[in-house]
Amino acid sequence: LDHILRQLGLRRPVLVSPSMSGRFALPFLLARGDQLAGFVPIAPVGTKDYAAEQYRRVQTPTLIVYGDHDTSLGLLALRSLRHLPEHRVAMVPDAGHACYLDKPDDFH
């Protein structure tokens, strides 16, 4: 991910991370979050693989997004990501795990 951002010449992008992309985005956030202007995790996988203390060190502004019908992964991710000090939460009503597909207007 670091290589791709450098090749594209992106400086301090906002990283949007839905579902499976959490396996790439979360390690990047924890190691190089200072290179991001923001982070938008959408019920990403892998959040439980890191300790609360690791999340507390991240200073990247974060918008945690999940659908209210995603009662497994969405809530699991929220439980872990709430340890990020600079976070807000946006719950998309009447949407499942892929809330951006279920309710695209509300998501945007």
Domain residues of the chain, as ranges? 12-106
Write down the architecture of domain 12-106 according to CATH. Answer: 3-Layer(aba) Sandwich (3.40)
pTM: 0.93
The confidence score (pLDDT) of residue 82 equals 96
CB 52 within 8 A of CB 70: no
* Residue appearing with tokens 């923001």: 38
CB atoms within 10 A of CB 87: 18
Helices and strands counted in the chain (H then E): 6, 4
The confidence score (pLDDT) of residue 43 equals 94
Residues 45-91: tens digit of each pLDDT: 999 999 999 999 999 999 999 999 998 888 899 999 999 999 999 99
Q: Which residues are catalytic, by number?
A: 19, 70, 97
